[in-house]
């Protein structure tokens, strides 16, 4: 069985897709979501095999949802859109597939066949779709973080530093620390040039660096505006110095 999540902020669109999906003997409906934040939480909680993801949604678009996913554990993605330019861009960049509204049953069946054929290469197909989303949204100005049992969006500029912890990262802001199940490398790809590594397991927001002080054997301490003091390893010294001077 292929477990599928439907994400669309229009109830009639969800109803239509649900009716047609449940007719498929090898498709199980994992759930439905009406907004991007709910979708992100449901993807994490339900771990569907595939997600039909509407691009145009208020608050948080489908592309933003996709951009926040960790490629290694993401489901297969199908972008759904009523706007031709989005669909064409996604298709040209080899996203797993797209549905252009209004679509008919035959078009959906073609998409399902393509999904079935990609079940053995989920990681590669998901990574392609996520790269597509990031290419269209650019560096993320907002990041989804857990807040109790809920998720919330925070401004990326409010993040001071990020620390890797096995398969998790700790995101430090002035107000709180958040733990995400992400790799540091992929999170930095999402957040873009605002951040740089100072250690294999630590990255900082350049704007939050207050000063640097030398230690021994080429290492330095990084003093953050928040008062935190972090170790800068020699491997990343030149990059940080260039970024701070720039």
- List, in sequence order, the alpha helices (H) in 47-171: 62-67, 84-92, 105-117, 122-137
pLDDT at 91 over 80: no
Quick: pLDDT tens for 123-178: 888 888 898 888 888 889 999 999 888 899 999 999 999 999 988 999 999 889 99
pLDDT of residue 38: 95
Quick: pLDDT tens for 210-235: 999 998 777 899 999 999 999 999 89
pLDDT at 96 over 90: no
The residue among 129 and 19 whose pLDDT is bigger is 19
Q: Indicate where the chain has its CATH 2.40.50.1020 domain(s).
A: 143-245
| C-alpha–C-alpha distance, residues 83 and 88, integer Å | 9
Give the right CATH number for 143-245 from 3.40.630.30, 2.40.50.1020, 3.40.50.720, 3.10.150.10. Answer: 2.40.50.1020
pLDDT at 241 over 60: yes
DSSP 55-90: S--SSS-HHHHHHTS-GGGPPEEEEEES-HHHHHHH
pLDDT at 88 over 70: no
Q: Residue 101 phi/psi, 5° resolution?
A: -70, 140
Q: Indicate where the chain has its CATH 3.40.50.2300 domain(s).
A: 2-137
Mean pLDDT on 4-18: 97
- Which homologous superfamily does the CATH classification assign to the domain defined by 2-137? Response regulator (3.40.50.2300)
| C-alpha–C-alpha distance, residues 27 and 11, integer Å | 20
pLDDT at 4 over 90: yes
On whether the CB atoms of residues 20 and 44 are closer than 8 A, the answer is no
Q: Evaluate if pTM is beyond 0.75.
A: yes
- Edge-to-edge strands of the sheet including 98-100? 27-33, 2-7, 50-54, 76-81, 98-100
Mean pLDDT on 175-189: 94
pLDDT at 86 over 80: no
């Amino acid at each position: 069985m292929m477990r599928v999540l439907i994400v669309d902020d229009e109830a009639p669109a969800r109803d239509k897709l649900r009716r047609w999906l449940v007719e498929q003997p090898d498709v199980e409906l994992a759930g439905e979501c009406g907004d991007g934040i709910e979708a992100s939480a449901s993807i994490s909680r339900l771990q569907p095999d595939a997600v039909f993801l509407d691009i145009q949604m208020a608050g948080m678009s489908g592309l933003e949802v996709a951009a926040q996913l960790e490629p290694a554990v993401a489901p297969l993605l199908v972008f759904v859109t009523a706007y031709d330019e989005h669909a064409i861009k996604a298709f040209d960049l080899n996203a797993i597939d797209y549905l252009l509204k209004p679509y008919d049953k035959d078009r959906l069946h073609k998409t399902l066949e393509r999904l079935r054929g990609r079940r053995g290469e989920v990681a590669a197909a998901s990574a392609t779709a996520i790269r597509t989303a990031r290419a269209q949204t650019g560096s993320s100005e907002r990041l989804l973080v857990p807040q109790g049992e809920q998720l919330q969006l925070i401004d990326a500029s409010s993040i001071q530093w990020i620390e890797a912890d096995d398969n998790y990262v700790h995101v430090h802001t002035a107000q709180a620390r958040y733990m995400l199940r992400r790799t540091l490398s992929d999170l930095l790809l999402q957040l873009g040039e605002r951040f740089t590594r100072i250690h294999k397991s630590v990255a900082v927001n350049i704007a939050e660096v207050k000063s640097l002080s030398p230690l021994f054997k080429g290492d330095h301490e990084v003093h953050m505006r928040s008062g935190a003091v972090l170790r800068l390893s020699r491997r990343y010294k030149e990059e940080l110095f260039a970024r701070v001077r720039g």
